[in-house]
Amino acid sequence: MEFLDAKDLLSYLQDNLKENILDSRLETRTAGVKKEEFHNIWLEVKREKFRDTVKLFMELQYPHIAIIAGNDTGEKIELVYLFSLFYGEKFKEISINLKVSLEREKPSIESITDLIPGAQTTERETKEMFGVEFIGLPEMRNIFLPEDFPKDIFPFRKEQKGLDELVQKES
Amino acid sequence: MSISTYKIPIGPIHPSLAEPMTFNFEISGEKIQSVDLAPGDNHRGIEFMGRNRNIVQIIYLAERICGICSASHPFAFCRAVENAAGIEVPPRAEYIRVIIAELERIHSHILWAGIAAEELGFNSVLYLSWKVREEVLDLLEILTGNRINYGMYMIGGVRRDISEEHMPRIMKTLQYYKDAYQTLEDVFLKDPSIALRTKNVGIMTYEDALHLTSVGPTARASGVKKDVRQDQPYSAYADMDIKAITPDIYSGEVNGDVYDRIIVRILEVFQSVQIIEYCLDNLPEGEILSEPKIVKLLGTLKKAKGEGVGRHEAPRGEVIHYIKLNESENPEVWKARAPTYNNLMSWLPMLQRQEIADIPIVIASIDPCIGCMDRVTLVDSNTSKKQVLTREELMKLSIAKTRRILK
Amino acid sequence: MSGGSIIIFILNIFGALIIAILGILVGLFYKGIDRKLAAMLQSRVGPPIRQPFLDFFKLMIKENIVPENAIPWVFNGAPVLALVSTVTILFYIPFGPIPALLGDSGDLILIAYLLAIPAIALVAGGFSSGSTYASIGAQREMVLMMSYELPLVTTIIGLGWRLNLAYPGLKVFSLAALSTNPIWGLVGPLGFLGALLLLLTLVIVTPAELSIVPFDIPEAETELAGGVLVEYSGRNLALFELSNAVKMIVMGTLTIALFFPYNIAHLLSITGFFAYIINILFFFFKLFIVIFFEATLIRVALARLKIDQASTAYLIFLSATSLMGLLLIAIDYII
């Protein structure tokens, strides 16, 4: 396995995905007294090409997925997959924050649990919190919410304002 | 011949679990056939609460995600906000941040070691290690004012300085831990009865660790050289040469068992001492906050727009916070990820084919922090049939029951 | 029945009552000492010595819960059986200078049987309580009991057999005979080593009898949340606690009677009533030392074993040790 630097990685992705990349940004930050640089890549791809992007990562190194951060913007459901590549050496690791936008009515995306089994926890959480359907997710039960939680309520969508009035008044 | 099995539940309340979490085991004889995890008993909805708070208030909320990682979460959160809003942190603050984070690592690892011993029924070692832990808690109290929940981190720096008067006390603690290393090594790594219970127990292979996206000492004990302080260093870590600690440094081989996880944690205590020493020797002079006036800081943050990711290697593994600011008082998105969240799946291969007696130590071996992992809210619904009881209704029911008993 | 035997019968009943009460009191007292010592070894303050008494009284006023799917008569009977059988052993064991109350009618073989009864009671109680945890604990208790019986019995037989060789006419399994002729005086250097191995066996069997770390596998707090005792509460639990405390005295006294039956009064050339007092005090001192080594020290120095590890340790290693001890004594006799 060879370590790519952030620019090469971004051009590798751009060469392979071409017009499927909706937005890409290389973010450089410095750390420490010596002001050494490290990089984050922000990437937005089309929903259809999402799985292929993850497969592209896998050709380089087995990617580490930290979590899916979901956001209900009101029109769309945005998912930000926080990946990181190239662990093992100082300053070689690059964070890749992969964004996908989904329809707000019936959002669905392909599951990546067959590629990275460890993604199951976070996919299940996103499923129950945002109501995103993950196609091919092997475990459909709730992970954090109770089993008898109403199926049509997704706590982290914007229309949910939290606990009911009574509790808010008391606290 | 089919194996006849029976079910035992461990949790939500069980002596070996400090926090609520349910495991459903399928057992035949004394061997585990399968295990099913059911987390979620400890939801508090912290990220949801964050939606109604401003950025500075969220720091204190993040601190309370977990009692033990109470430096790690604000550290990662502050980094996320600084990345999003483009705030520079003064060098002195970077060093103080690292000192506090490493002191926390010392206390967290020794706390874990004590719990692991208790799970093995070895109470003497529990008392010994918690006695050793007291020293660093005292130091943290002197430096920050609290044993846990330090309140040190602030966007753009830290809130308290480390002065010259603190130096002798810090040096004393570091020396104490250098001496204590020998004791810890003797009781944990050389004791035959601990070796008997932890070697070849709860094995996770290198491939499993990678595929199940384990982090922290859990992954490192399986030979995955993954450590944010090494891979993508930040703050003062960038000035140092930190190597991820894997068990082969000590024993020459990687087995991925509970014993290896003990090795990694004990060695990391010593690594932390060295990091703190470096920080104290090279502590830069200067400011500790880029913007001391909180009102002004909040004003800047209110105008900021952007996304940021903050990562920090907490004692248990990588903590990662994602924040999206959108020119308003409250963040648009705040997502916190604690290490146990990623290590959750690691339990499955570890517990497979183990005995009942191994359950507590294997569960403890990833240093689980359920409070960190479950952070999400329960939303009450009046529209649904299966209604979640409100507090008042619960109160009524509770009073009714008390009266019933009194009759 | 003649008048004399009735009086002896009544005296025996009174004696039994006194011994039972004293045994329980001393047992709880030593338990307190054990806890305090363990705390000091673990560098903490520890509970006051009267704590086991307080625990007992507290348990007595607590509600006695019988689970819905338990078998009540077994569930409630088990603790009584455990306590009664342990207290019964007290009648057959000499306490230093005080001879055993019923020393003539029972011997070491009987004691070995009686020692098994509390364990069986625990198993019955565990299985009858209808909880999975308790069932697992009961299974473990059974496995453990079967594992430690062999080394225990080997020790007893070894001692009796050697005594028989020395004094063929004697009732060799009677504790009185065993304690007037300690093993150390009968054997040569090889046999001395053999006797040491037998002593070691008894010391290591004791933690399993008392179910303390490292052999508290049936109760295993962090695994089974109390195991066999998980469903017990209130009075029933108090009775189990009592029987455990008495068992500690029994095991300590047994070790003393078999291996250290010495008195010191005649060495200090004290006679009469004072000699008696001195010997009793010396006995309690010996008991303290023995319990310290058999219970306190072992439980602070080791981690809990797994059931297969414990079973292997007893069935293979400890049995081998005790058989080796027996063999050494035999060789010592032949040469």
The beta-carbon neighbor of B231 closest among A71, A92, A143 is: A92
Contact state of B196 with C303 under an 8 Å Cβ cutoff: yes
Q: What pLDDT, on a 0 to 100 scale, did the predictor assign at position B246?
A: 85
Decide if C18 touches B, using CB distance below 8 A.
no
Spatial separation of the C-alpha atoms in residues B336 and B65, rounded to whole Å: 9
Q: Which range is least confidently modeled, A43-57, C27-41, C244-258, C260-274?
A: C260-274
DSSP string across B176-228: HHHHHHHHHIIIIIS-HHHHHHHTTSS---HHHHHHTT--HHHHHHTT----H
Q: What pLDDT, on a 0 to 100 scale, did the predictor assign at position B379?
A: 38
Q: What pLDDT, on a 0 to 100 scale, did the predictor assign at position B388?
A: 47
Structure token pair of residue B259: 């014993």
Q: Residue B125: how many CA atoms within 13 Å on its side-chain side?
A: 27
Decide if A11 touches B, using CB distance below 8 A.
no
Residue B29 has pLDDT above 80, yes or no: no
In a domain, B361, yes or no: yes
The beta-carbon neighbor of B225 closest among A33, A87, A152 is: A87
Q: What pLDDT, on a 0 to 100 scale, did the predictor assign at position B305?
A: 85
Q: Is residue C215 within 8 Å of C173, Cβ to Cβ? A: no
Q: Is residue B135 within 8 Å of B169, Cβ to Cβ? A: no
Q: How confident is the model at residue B374 (pLDDT cuts 50, 70, 90)?
A: low
In the numeric block, the tokens 């309140």 are attached to B151
Spatial separation of the C-alpha atoms in residues A37 and A90, rounded to whole Å: 11
Structure token pair of residue B44: 């508090």
For chain C, percent of residues with pLDDT exceeding 90: 1
Residues 117-146 of A with CB under 8 A from B: 117-122, 125, 129, 142-146
Count how many residues are written for chain A. 171
Residues B343, B384, single domain; the answer is: no
Decide if A43 touches B, using CB distance below 8 A.
no
Q: Is residue B362 within 8 Å of B347, Cβ to Cβ? A: yes
Contact state of C302 with B358 under an 8 Å Cβ cutoff: no
Domain boundaries, chain A: 6-157
Q: Is residue A123 within 8 Å of A137, Cβ to Cβ? A: yes
Residue B314 has pLDDT above 60, yes or no: yes
Spatial separation of the C-alpha atoms in residues C90 and C249, rounded to whole Å: 9
CATH number of the structural domain spanning residue B156:
1.10.645.10
- Neighbours of A, requiring at least 3 CB pairs below 8 Å, are B
C194 sits in which H/E element: helix C189-209
Range of the domain at C326: 62-334
Q: How confident is the model at residue B387 (pLDDT cuts 50, 70, 90)?
A: very low
In a domain, C13, yes or no: no
Mean pLDDT of B318-347: 84
Q: What pLDDT, on a 0 to 100 scale, did the predictor assign at position B407?
A: 55
The beta-carbon neighbor of B232 closest among A70, A95, A148 is: A95
Mean pLDDT of C219-247: 83
SS3 for B37-56 is EECCCCCCCHHHHHCCCCHH
Looking at residue C266, the DSSP 8-state letter turns out to be T
Number of domains comprising chain C: 1
Decide if C303 touches B, using CB distance below 8 A.
yes
Mean pLDDT of A68-96: 83
Residues 251-310 of B with CB under 8 A from A: 282, 284, 307, 309
Give tens-digit pLDDT for C25-78. Answer: 988 998 898 888 888 888 888 889 888 999 999 998 888 888 888 888 888 888
**Sign of the dihedral through C-alpha B119, B121, B127, B128:** negative
Pairing of strands A94-103, B6-10: unpaired
Q: How confident is the model at residue B398 (pLDDT cuts 50, 70, 90)?
A: low
Question: Residue C175: which of C119, C283, C255 has the closest Cα?
Answer: C255
User: What distance in Å separates residue A70's CA from the closest CA in chain B?
Assistant: 8
Contact state of C304 with B128 under an 8 Å Cβ cutoff: no
Decide if B359 touches C, using CB distance below 8 A.
yes
Spatial separation of the C-alpha atoms in residues C239 and B350, rounded to whole Å: 40
Residue A118 has pLDDT above 70, yes or no: yes
Q: How confident is the model at residue A163 (pLDDT cuts 50, 70, 90)?
A: low
Size of interface A-B (CB pairs under 8 A): 172
Mean pLDDT of C168-187: 73
Q: What pLDDT, on a 0 to 100 scale, did the predictor assign at position B394?
A: 58
Spatial separation of the C-alpha atoms in residues C108 and C256, rounded to whole Å: 13
Question: Residue C122: which of C77, C182, C166 has the closest Cα?
Answer: C77
Q: What pLDDT, on a 0 to 100 scale, did the predictor assign at position C192?
A: 81
Q: Which of B213, B275, B346, B387 to mutate to test the interface with A (most CBs of A within 10 A)?
A: B213
Residue C136 has pLDDT above 60, yes or no: yes
Range of the domain at B397: 6-40+376-406
Contact state of B14 with C225 under an 8 Å Cβ cutoff: yes
C144 Cβ contact partners less than 8 Å away, ≥ 6 residues apart: C208, C215, C217, C218, C307, C310, C311, C314
By CA distance, what is B196's nearest residue in C?
Answer: C305
Q: Which range is least confidently modeled, B43-57, B78-92, B133-147, C71-85?
A: B43-57
Q: What pLDDT, on a 0 to 100 scale, did the predictor assign at position B137?
A: 87
Decide if B7 touches C, using CB distance below 8 A.
yes
The beta-carbon neighbor of B196 closest among C223, C224, C309 is: C309
C281 Cβ contact partners less than 8 Å away, ≥ 6 residues apart: none
Residue A1 has pLDDT above 70, yes or no: no
The beta-carbon neighbor of A167 closest among B234, B376, B391 is: B391
Q: Is residue B302 within 8 Å of B64, Cβ to Cβ? A: no
Decide if B348 touches A, using CB distance below 8 A.
no
Q: How confident is the model at residue B381 (pLDDT cuts 50, 70, 90)?
A: very low
By CA distance, what is A120's nearest residue in B?
Answer: B345
Give tens-digit pLDDT for A27-67. Answer: 888 777 777 888 888 888 888 888 888 888 888 888 888 88
The beta-carbon neighbor of B194 closest among C216, C223, C303 is: C303
Mean pLDDT of A122-143: 83
Q: What pLDDT, on a 0 to 100 scale, did the predictor assign at position B328?
A: 83
Pairing of strands A36-45, A94-103: parallel
In a domain, B199, yes or no: yes
User: What distance in Å separates residue B1's CA from the closest CA in chain C?
Assistant: 22
Q: How confident is the model at residue A165 (pLDDT cuts 50, 70, 90)?
A: very low
Upstream peptide bond of C214 is cis (omega within 30 degrees of 0): yes
User: What distance in Å separates residue B114's CA from the closest CA in chain C?
Assistant: 12
For chain B, percent of residues with pLDDT exceeding 90: 0
* The CATH classification of domain A6-157, taken from the options 3.40.50.620, 3.30.460.80, 1.20.58.760, 3.40.50.720: 3.30.460.80
- Neighbours of C, requiring at least 3 CB pairs below 8 Å, are B
Residues B173, B297, single domain; the answer is: yes
In a domain, C36, yes or no: no
Q: Is residue B311 within 8 Å of B228, Cβ to Cβ? A: yes
Mean pLDDT of B85-112: 88
Decide if C304 touches B, using CB distance below 8 A.
yes
Structure token pair of residue A41: 């890549």
Mean pLDDT of C231-245: 88
Residue B38 has pLDDT above 60, yes or no: yes
In a domain, B1, yes or no: no
Q: Is residue B367 within 8 Å of B316, Cβ to Cβ? A: yes
Q: Is residue B55 within 8 Å of B301, Cβ to Cβ? A: yes
B312 sits in which H/E element: strand B305-314
Decide if C221 touches B, using CB distance below 8 A.
yes
User: What distance in Å separates residue B395's CA from the closest CA in chain C?
Assistant: 26
Decide if C61 touches B, using CB distance below 8 A.
no
Residue A5: other Cβ atoms inside 10 A: 12
Residues 194-233 of B with CB under 8 A from C: 194, 196-197
> What is the layout of strands, in order, in the sheet containing B22-28?
B6-10, B22-28, B31-38
Spatial separation of the C-alpha atoms in residues C156 and C108, rounded to whole Å: 7
Name chain B contacts of A166, Cβ cutoff 8 Å.
Answer: 390-392
DSSP string across chain A: --PPPHHHHHHHHHHHHGGGEEEEEEEEEEETTTTEEEEEEEEEE-GGGHHHHHHHHHHHS--EEEEEEEEE-SSEEEEEEEEEE--SSTTT-EEEEEEEEEESSS-EEE--TTT-GGGHHHHHHHHHHH--EEET-S--S-SSS-TTS-TT--TTSTT---S-HHHHHH-
Decide if A3 touches B, using CB distance below 8 A.
no
Decide if A36 touches B, using CB distance below 8 A.
yes
Residues B149, B25, single domain; the answer is: no
Name chain B contacts of C218, Cβ cutoff 8 Å.
Answer: none
Q: How confident is the model at residue B215 (pLDDT cuts 50, 70, 90)?
A: confident
Structure token pair of residue B245: 């600690």
Give tens-digit pLDDT for C178-216. Answer: 777 777 777 777 778 888 888 888 888 888 888 777 777
Name chain B contacts of C304, Cβ cutoff 8 Å.
Answer: 120-122, 197, 357
Q: How confident is the model at residue B404 (pLDDT cuts 50, 70, 90)?
A: low
**Sign of the dihedral through C-alpha B75, B79, B85, B91:** positive
Residue A119 has pLDDT above 80, yes or no: yes
By CA distance, what is A73's nearest residue in B?
Answer: B332
Residues B128, B242, single domain; the answer is: yes
For chain B, the average pLDDT equals: 81
**Sign of the dihedral through C-alpha C95, C104, C241, C217:** positive
Q: What pLDDT, on a 0 to 100 scale, did the predictor assign at position C1?
A: 53
Q: How confident is the model at residue C253 (pLDDT cuts 50, 70, 90)?
A: confident
Angle at alpha carbon of residue B366, lines to B365 and B372, rounded to 5°: 135
Q: What pLDDT, on a 0 to 100 scale, did the predictor assign at position B1?
A: 46
Contact state of B335 with A164 under an 8 Å Cβ cutoff: no
Mean pLDDT of A66-95: 84
Decide if C40 touches B, using CB distance below 8 A.
no
Find how far residue B206's CA is from the centre of its chain.
22
In the numeric block, the tokens 């010495």 are attached to C262
C101 Cβ contact partners less than 8 Å away, ≥ 6 residues apart: C12, C15, C16, C19, C91, C92
Number of domains comprising chain B: 2
Decide if A92 touches B, using CB distance below 8 A.
yes
Q: Is residue B153 within 8 Å of B60, Cβ to Cβ? A: no
Q: How confident is the model at residue B402 (pLDDT cuts 50, 70, 90)?
A: low
**Residue A78 main-chain phi, psi, to 5 deg:** -100, 130
Contact state of C133 with B8 under an 8 Å Cβ cutoff: yes
User: What distance in Å separates residue A17's CA from the closest CA in chain B?
Assistant: 23
The beta-carbon neighbor of B127 closest among C42, C220, C307 is: C42
By CA distance, what is A34's nearest residue in B?
Answer: B239
Q: Which range is least confidently modeled, B17-26, B132-141, B216-225, C85-94?
A: B17-26
In a domain, C271, yes or no: yes
Q: What pLDDT, on a 0 to 100 scale, did the predictor assign at position B400?
A: 67
Contact state of A145 with B40 under an 8 Å Cβ cutoff: yes
Residues B399, B321, single domain; the answer is: no
C165 sits in which H/E element: helix C132-166
**Residue A54 main-chain phi, psi, to 5 deg:** -60, -35
Q: How confident is the model at residue B338 (pLDDT cuts 50, 70, 90)?
A: confident
Looking at residue B357, the DSSP 8-state letter turns out to be G
The beta-carbon neighbor of A31 closest among B43, B230, B235 is: B235
**Residue A67 main-chain phi, psi, to 5 deg:** -165, 165
Find how far residue A139's CA is from the centre of its chain.
19
**Residue A59 main-chain phi, psi, to 5 deg:** -70, -25
For chain B, percent of residues with pLDDT exceeding 70: 90
Give tens-digit pLDDT for B146-188. Answer: 888 888 888 888 888 888 888 888 888 889 988 888 888 888 8
In a domain, C231, yes or no: yes
Upstream peptide bond of C207 is cis (omega within 30 degrees of 0): no
> What is the layout of strands, in order, in the sheet containing B317-326?
B305-314, B317-326, B333-337
Higher pLDDT, C152 or C178: C152
Decide if A160 touches B, using CB distance below 8 A.
yes
Looking at residue B62, the DSSP 8-state letter turns out to be H
Higher pLDDT, B196 or B385: B196
Contact state of A144 with B40 under an 8 Å Cβ cutoff: yes
Decide if A157 touches B, using CB distance below 8 A.
no
In a domain, C29, yes or no: no
Residues B166, B182, single domain; the answer is: yes
